[in-house]
Amino acid sequence: MVAGESAGANLAAVVCLLAKDNKANPKIVFQVLIYPPTQLGGVPATRPAASGYLLDQRSIEWFHSHYLPKDVDRTDPRLSPLAAKDVSRLPPAYIVTAGFDPLRDEGMAYADKLKQAGVSVTYIDYPSMIHGFFSMTGLLPLASEAVAAAAKAVRTAVDPRSAT
């Protein structure tokens, strides 16, 4: 199993793609992607211009400038999993997005792409939440519920008998 939040979710998605390309080695049985950035190449036409909610286009560009060399191909699926040509045979996914997060639409687009390729996907959007809300369990009751729901999904993926 792999899991990640924000940039870590991007890395988790990429690890799944790389493992698939390496004949399922290592064998990954589940992926948890919490508000994943899946399109580092360019600005998605649907990216909301959210401002004042901890993450906006300006901060996204700042993070990218510190993570990527200027001449790198940002559409490479190893950076932008949404650009992968074939996402079939990836592990089941649990994908979470937040309504007030500029990454929401690309997380949703990746969930849709996986579903269209036949991958089992649980997609949950928390429309009233912001980027980073998973780490705000002490402040937001809904964050605690979201973390508990993700933990339950992991338990069920690892041991299907735990769902009963």
Q: Quick count: other Cβ atoms within 10 Å of Cβ 114?
A: 26
Out of 131, 144, 159, 162, which one is annotated catalytic? 131
Q: Which residue has the tokens 């940039």?
A: 7
101 is an active site residue: yes
Report CA torsion sign: 13, 122, 3, 22: negative
Residue 86 catalytic?
no
Q: Of the listed 6, 66, 112, 159, which one is catalytic?
A: 6
Neighbouring C-beta atoms of residue 112, cutoff 10 Å: 14
User: Which one-letter DSSP state was computed for residue 132?
Assistant: T
Give the Cβ contact number of residue 89 at 10 Å.
Answer: 11
Q: Which of 66, 101, 135, 162 is catalytic?
A: 101
Catalytic-residue membership of 131: yes
CA atoms of 164 and 161, how far apart (whole Å)? 6
d(CA 57, CA 149): 29
What is the set of active-site residues?
Answer: 6, 101, 131
